Structure formats: structure tokens, C-alpha cells
Structure 1
Amino acid sequence: MGIEITALHWIYVVFIMLIIIFMVRRLDTTLISIVGIFVIALVATGDFVASIGGVFNSFIYAITELLSTILIISIIVAMSRVLTKTGINEVMIAPFTKIIKNPTLGFWTIGILMMIISWFFWPSPAVALLGAVLLPVAIRAGLPALGVAMAMNLFGHGIALSSDFIIQGAPKLTADAAGLPVGDVVMASIPLVITMGVVTTVVAFYFLKRDMKRGTIPLVGTYDNSTEQELEQTENLLSMTQKKLFALLIPVAFVLDVVAMAIFDLQGGDATALVGGTSVFILLILCVIAFKKKGLDQTTSYFIKGFQFGFKVFGPVIPIAAFFYLGDAGFLTILGNHLPETSHGIVNDLGMGLAALVPLTTEIAVVTLTGVGAITGLDGSGFSGISLVGSLGNLFGTAIGEGTATLTALGQIAAIWVGGGTLVPWALIPAAAICNVSPFELARRNLVPVIIGLIVTTIVALFII
């Protein structure tokens, strides 16, 4: 394939392994990520001073890429704190307590709702819509905040995003690269999506219930203790009539957002922006009405609290995100053109290099597509490598004489489950932040179920072909 694997590629692999070891052993990854960025920069440029600057520039790149997520999380948290402070949240969640009566119902209800909404509008706005309302209900029913985050994450960023049946952004990319009609890839992905989704969520729920019985999971999120302090300071600032009115109008506002998304075909970032803007206006109106003359000051105060929370949650993640962004388009922006001319980015090069090393049998082709998909997902987008798996699906399918659509769909599922937001820490931050749990702890919780799911799905793909 003409791919040149250099020292940079091997250094990147070594630091990926070190970061994974650090995460599994519950060690902080900041130091190893920064050292990895510096070493790669030094080898690439040969300039000590430029390498030091490269660390800073990589942080800027990571923050720029993550900024929209930081903003939506900060604004939603600020709004939810006002809802809690005024007592509106209590009234809003009351109807849901009749449905979500125990942890099992909480996990599966939240997960399925998340999956359905994510199919239509992608997961980020769905997290914002569901998390603020259903998290308190689930906790009261006995489902830990970490369990809520797992449900939203696995069903939204896992099942819905990897299948993408409605919007079809992911299958369109893979189908184009494989030279197939998008419908063929969608149809081929259905049994694989079902297998991956069922196996992963059932295994995750089993481990969750096991640890709940052992009492090793705190009921509420403790990643940012100021949320608990805020709950203790709830005040009766509105009359019951006002609380009921706002408890009705606020969900109506978000339902109208959903309608607008459908009418104006708003997806991804545009849909998230609409939810964020709506939350800003809700925050403004509530502060003015609840705090009256102090409303202007309180508005600023809540924005500050929201941004403090957002950057506190993202702070530990920015260095590791900066490192992994070097594996894709971030390398050129941060360090300049120091890769071989034939390079498609470090991560994609590694995936293509792996594919070039293996003999083309059906069994090897299936395992390789899963492996390449998972490797290309390590940059955290999930989407950057799916064109590559589409091309490889076409190559392998042609070589073995069958199964091109299935191979393409398998690579797509592996890439998005790993990179779209169930294993890479910064990609699953929306669910972690809304639930006030550590994104690294959520990634650790997802690791075994997702690996088991990928293994079973790979075996099923082998039988389908």
C-alpha cells in the first residue's frame, strides 16, 4: 500500500500502550501524555525549543477541538443548578418517578430513550436533553450516577452513533469508500449492531449490578463536590404555581428544539448549539424572575459556576486529548509537515500497515477489520478512520470474493464504538460531565463490556460472511 512506518509511528504506539496501562492501573495520565507529545515533537522536528512550544500548541489545538463540548456542558450545568436552586427540578422530575421505580428500569429506560433520540439528532444534544432531567430520578430509584452515564454513553455514543440508521452520516462515508450503495452497508450492519449492542449493554449492566450489590459504587457523582454543596443550599425562591409553570414550559421549549431539529434538518453541532442557546435563555429568565434585583449578578454567578465545572472536568482530559490528536489531522497543525509524503496520519498509517501485513483469508479479514477500526478510533473522533475501513472492506471483500458490505460495516462499528465515545476518555465527557462522574472511571467501566462485545460481534460477522 506504499505506507512507510517510521520511528514516529512506533513511538506513538509505545505511548498509547503506556497511557492504557496508566488508565487501567488508575494512575493519572497527564504526565505520560505530555512526555509523549514532547518526545514525538522532538523526533519529528529535531528542535528542542520547538518541541517545548509544540506541547503548548497541542493544548491549544485540543481545547479548540473540544470547545463546543465544553460550552454545552458548562451551560447545561449552570441551568440545572438554577433549576435545583429554585426547586423547579423537583417538580419536573415528579412524573418520571412513576416510570423509573428501580435501578433496572432506570438503566434500560434511559438507555433506550437515549438511543432513539440519538438516532435522530446524534448523541451530544441527546445527553443534554436527557441528563439534566432523568439523572435525579434515576438516583432516587437507586441507580448510581455512573450507571446513568454508562446507559447514556453505551446506547447513544455506542449503538446509535455506530449504526446511524436515520442520519446515515457514518454508513455514507464507509459506503462511498467501499464503492457500495449506502443501503447495502446499513442492511449488513443490522445484525452486527444488534449483536454489539445487546452483548455490550447486558455485560455492562451485569457488572454494574454486581458492584452495586458489593456497595463499591457511590450513588451520586462525586467528581465535582460543588454540585452536592449546591443541592444543600436549595431555597424556596418561587411560588408553587411558578414552579409548575416553568416545569411545564422548560420541557416544552426543548421539545420545540427537537421539532426545529427535524424541520430544519439540524444535526450534530447545529443541534447542540440550539439546545445550548435555549438553555442560556432559560437560565437568564429564571435568574431574573427568581432573584429579581439580584438577577443580573446571579446570572453571571451561575455562568461562572458552569464554566468552572466545565473546565474542571475537561482539565485532566486536555493533555491526553492533545496527545491522541497528534495521531490524525492535529499533527500537521501542531508540528507541521514532518511525516512521509505517503502518510495519511499516524493512526491511519498504523491501520493500513496492519492490514498490509496479514494474509487475506476470511477469518483474518474479519479480525483485521475489527482491529483496524479500533486503531483508527483511537484519535477520539470515531469518524476519521471509517473511510479507511471502507476501502479495506472493499479490498478484503474483493480478495476473498464475498462479504464486502459486512466487512465495511464491521470496521465502522469498531471505529465508532472505540473512538465515537465509549472508550476514549474525552469522547465520552458529555455523559460523564452531566452525571458528575470521572470520564476515566466511565472509560474503565466500559472497557471490558466493549471488548467482549467486539469479540462476539467479530465472531458473528465471520459466520455471516
Structure 2
Amino acid sequence: MGVELTVLHWIYLAFIVFIIGFMIARKDTSLICIIGIFLLAATATHSLSAAISGVFNSFIYAITELLPTILVISIIVAMSKVMTTTGINDVMISPFIRFIRTPGWAYWTIGILMMIISWFFWPSPAVALMGAVLLPVAIRVGLPALGAAMAMNLFGHGIALSGDFIIQGAPKLTADAAGLSVSEVISASVPLVFVMGVVTTVAAFLLLRRDMKRGHFANETNEVAATADEAIEKAKQLLSNQAKNMLAIIIPILFVLDVIAMFYLRLQGGDATALIGGTAIFILILISIFAYKQESFSEITNYLIEGFQFGFKVFGPVIPIAAFFYLGDAGFVKIIGEHLPKLSQGIVNDLGIALAHVVPLSDGVGAVTLAIVGAITGLDGSGFSGISLTGAVAHLFATAIGGGAATLTALGQIAAIWVGGGTLVPWALIPAAAICGVDPFELARRNLVPVAIGLVVTTIVAMFLI
């Protein structure tokens, strides 16, 4: 027997349906989330002032929960910006250019490097770096610009971002909504990220190679962004080659030491994020001092401002939807107060228990549903704005099934980010498409079949892991 469902439960469930509907219609969900928070608070407290305050307090709660993630991403983007401006990124990548001798080697080298860089710096800065340094080399050996863009998307915005093992922004959002620890979601996501990544990238490569043999790219005009040469020329004026070489060695060593420290000191979640973020701050300061000397005081501030602008721009749409889904669990009491029934285990838990009594769900139904919900939440082109929903739905289904919460959460996260994080939705593909000089709609069309195959296989694998 579960707790009796109240009006609060039905309002919450109705707004989950509304949010999914808005996402399918490619409409922004911020307003619908704010209305949902207001109605839940008004219904619980029977007070207009408390309901209005509840909306604001829910935003404060969401920002407080997300602030470490927003902060570390902002700092890493600031560090990436100074590395790109000074040309250190170019030096770090240059040893790998020797591996790019054939179109196949170009595809896999660009992809694997993009994945590694995206784990530490996120895909957005990595796209600019790969486009400026490796794209011209890849095109010279015969890889179409579209193939390079696919590699950047699938490995960076797909594999690296959907797992997000180092920065842990994505698993933090989904874990909070599902009532799990970040480490549980990351552990469950490892096999799914691996399966999704291998299946998708191999399928994409085989289809690309088939079309290259058929001559589909024979007439491609290889016009690569002309701004790369300008940026490299400017970078030469800021740092000597000796300084760039030295810093290009020090920076990877510092991050490798961070990863080693995470394993040996068993740092996870916030502690691991803090270590990466702190290291990035010191790298930003170090590079700025070498490059700008007396002007480094103001330049460090400028780079931090750029980073924070990026961080809040990315997470701006996430805060309202996260605020709503935090109400499904412990956040309700902290934001609105003790207004749930005495036997309630949280709105989402209550709904899950009720669902289990009404519909006998199976592992297969749960996995397919989470993959579909995740894909729908990605349709807004953010990848991040809706993953709190996947965590909440995973929690609901896991309660009904009787387990598998971490696997379902990881599956929803992977589906959401692969669709919306920059592999399928055309307006999310613009950065990579612009850098490579290709049509974002053509890039989305190219990614569609491999990503669809990957999602199907990954969902089937998830059924056996629940």
C-alpha cells in the first residue's frame, strides 16, 4: 500500500506531461515550469504570497544545487579561451598531426582527441580547437569536412558529454532528480556510454566510407575557416615558442595528476569537480602571467567574465526546469514546507508506487520509455535543460519496477544528450558545422542513422542491466 495521491501529485504529473508536450513542439519550457512551481506552492500553502515566494525560493534552491557545476564549467571555458588565444592548444595537438595520413586515421584521430579534450574542457571549446588545428590537415588527406564535423559531434557532444565523467555536470543533474548519488549514475552509465559510443561511431564511419567510395564528396569545396591563421599569428605575439612548449607539457600533466588523485583519494562528485576547477583556475592564472605580464591582472578578470557569461548562458534554461523537478523529491520540503501527506515518500516516489499498483511494468518497458523520454527532452537543442526530467521519470519507473534506478537514469541522460547536446538537432550543431564550413541540416541528417542505431542497441543492453 502506498500513500494516497493528492492534488499535488496530480498537478506534478500533469506538468510533466505538459513539459514533454512543449519539448515535442520545440517550445521553451521555462514558463510552463514556473507555472507548475506556482500552482504546487499555491495548492500546498493556500497562500498567494507563499506561492509567489515559492517560485523565487525554488530558483534559489536550484541555483544553489547547480552552482558548483556552473562554476567549474565557467572556469574551464575561461581557461580554454586563454589557451586558444595564446596558441598553447595548437602546440598540445601538433604531435598528433603525424597520425593523420588517411581519411580513416583523420576521422578516428579527430574523434578520439575531441573526446579526450571534451572530457576535461567540454565540447564547445574543443570544437574551435579541432577546427583550427586538425581540420585543414584532415581535408588534405581526403577526409570530407562533413566527416570531420561528424567525428567532432559524435565523440565530443555525444560520447564525452553524455558520460561527462570528469566535470560531472550531466550526472549531477540527473542524479539529483532521481534521488541518487552522482557516483551511482556514473558507474551505471559507463557500459551504456561505451556501447552507445562504439556502435554509433563505427556505424557513422562505415556509412561515411561507403559514400566516399561512391564519390558523393568528389566535388566538395574545401574552404576552411580563414580565421584560424589570424588566431595563430596573434598567438605568436603573446608567448614565445619555448614558453608555449613548456606550458603545453605542464597542463596535461596537471590534469593527469588530478585524475590519479581522484582514484587514489577516492574523490567523487563535488570533491572531484572542485579539484578540476581549482586546477583550471591556477592554469588560467599561470598562462595569463606568462602571456600578459603586467596586464595579467585585468586579463585574468576578463577571461573569467567570458567564462561566467558562457556558463550562465548554457544553464539559464536549465534552472527553471531543475527548480520544478527538485520539487519531486526532497526539494519540496526545503522550498515549500511540510505540506505533503504524512506517509509520503516524495511526490515522485508516491507516483511510482501508485504506478506499480496500476500497471505491471517490465524492465523492457522502463528502458524503452526512458530512451524515448530522454530523446524528447533533447529536442530543444540544449541536451541539458531536460535531463532533470529523465532523472525524475527514471525514479518513478524504478520505484514501480522495483530497481534499476541508476541504469534507467543513465539511459535517459545518454538519450537526451546524444539527441540535444549536439548530434541530431540542427540548431545545436551550428558550432561544429560553422567551424567545418558545412550545412548543419546536412550534418544532422548524416548523424541520424548512426545515432538511431546506437540508441536502439544501447536501450536493449540497458534492459539486461536493470
Query: Shared fold (TM-score greater than 0.5)?
Result: yes
Q: Provide the aligned length of Structure 1 versus Structure 2.
A: 397
Stretches of structure 2 lacking an aligned partner (at least 5 in a row): 136-144, 166-173, 378-385, 433-439
Counterpart in the other structure of 2:388? 380
* Map 1:57-72 → 2, pairs under 5 A: 57-72=57-72
In the superposition, the TM-score normalised over structure 2's length comes to: 0.67
Distance 1:112 1:254, change over 3 A: closer
Distance 1:89 1:356, change over 3 A: same
Answer yes or no: is 1:366 the counterpart of 2:367: no
Asked if the contact 2:72–2:273 (Cα under 8 Å) also holds between the matched residues in 1, the reply is yes
Counterpart amino acid of 1:105?
W
In the superposition, the TM-score normalised over structure 1's length comes to: 0.67
Counterpart amino acid of 2:276?
V
Counterpart amino acid of 1:341?
K
| Shift of residue 339, structure 1, vs aligned partner | 2.0
Moved more, 19-28 or 262-271: 19-28
2:328, 2:347 → 1: CA distance?
5
Asked if the contact 2:158–2:417 (Cα under 8 Å) also holds between the matched residues in 1, the reply is no
| Shift of residue 80, structure 1, vs aligned partner | 1.1
| Shift of residue 373, structure 1, vs aligned partner | 9.5
| Shift of residue 44, structure 1, vs aligned partner | 2.2
Counterpart in the other structure of 1:249? 250
* Map 1:187-206 → 2, pairs under 5 A: none
Answer yes or no: is 1:87 the counterpart of 2:90: no
1:194, 1:53 → 2: CA distance?
44
Match of 1:155 among 159, 176, 179: 159
Counterpart in the other structure of 1:126? 119
1:387, 1:358 → 2: CA distance?
16
Counterpart amino acid of 2:112?
T
Counterpart in the other structure of 1:400? none
Counterpart in the other structure of 1:418? 412
Counterpart amino acid of 2:364?
V
1:374, 1:349 → 2: CA distance?
23
Q: Percent identity?
A: 45
Cα deviation 1:343-390 (Å, max 9, x = unaligned): 222223333322221247xxx453246548988997729778878766
| Shift of residue 56, structure 1, vs aligned partner | 0.7
1:90, 1:265 → 2: CA distance?
33
Answer yes or no: is 1:109 the counterpart of 2:103: no
1:235, 1:196 → 2: CA distance?
40
Counterpart in the other structure of 1:165? none
Counterpart in the other structure of 1:404? none
| Shift of residue 203, structure 1, vs aligned partner | 7.4
SS at match of 1:423: helix
Distance 1:428 1:292, change over 3 A: same
1:197, 1:9 → 2: CA distance?
37
Cα deviation 1:191-226 (Å, max 9, x = unaligned): 98876665666678899999x99x9xxx99xxxxxx
| Shift of residue 138, structure 1, vs aligned partner | 5.7
Cα deviation 1:48-73 (Å, max 9, x = unaligned): 11111111111111111111111111
Asked if the contact 2:42–2:51 (Cα under 8 Å) also holds between the matched residues in 1, the reply is yes
SS at match of 2:312: helix
| Shift of residue 243, structure 1, vs aligned partner | 1.1
| Shift of residue 249, structure 1, vs aligned partner | 1.3
Cα deviation 1:132-165 (Å, max 9, x = unaligned): 557622674346778645534543465687xxxx
1:95, 1:237 → 2: CA distance?
21
Asked if the contact 2:328–2:347 (Cα under 8 Å) also holds between the matched residues in 1, the reply is yes
Distance 1:296 1:158, change over 3 A: closer
Match of 2:130 among 133, 137, 142: 137
Asked if the contact 1:75–1:303 (Cα under 8 Å) also holds between the matched residues in 2, the reply is yes
Counterpart amino acid of 1:335?
I
Distance 1:356 1:324, change over 3 A: same
Please report the RMSD computed on the Cα atoms of aligned residues, expressed in angstroms. Answer: 5.0
2:348, 2:448 → 1: CA distance?
20
SS at match of 2:238: coil
Distance 1:265 1:149, change over 3 A: farther
| Shift of residue 315, structure 1, vs aligned partner | 1.6
Distance 1:450 1:54, change over 3 A: farther
Answer yes or no: is 1:355 the counterpart of 2:349: no
SS at match of 1:293: helix
Counterpart in the other structure of 2:380? none
Distance 1:13 1:110, change over 3 A: farther
SS at match of 2:308: helix
| Shift of residue 428, structure 1, vs aligned partner | 6.6
1:19, 1:358 → 2: CA distance?
23
Asked if the contact 2:371–2:459 (Cα under 8 Å) also holds between the matched residues in 1, the reply is no
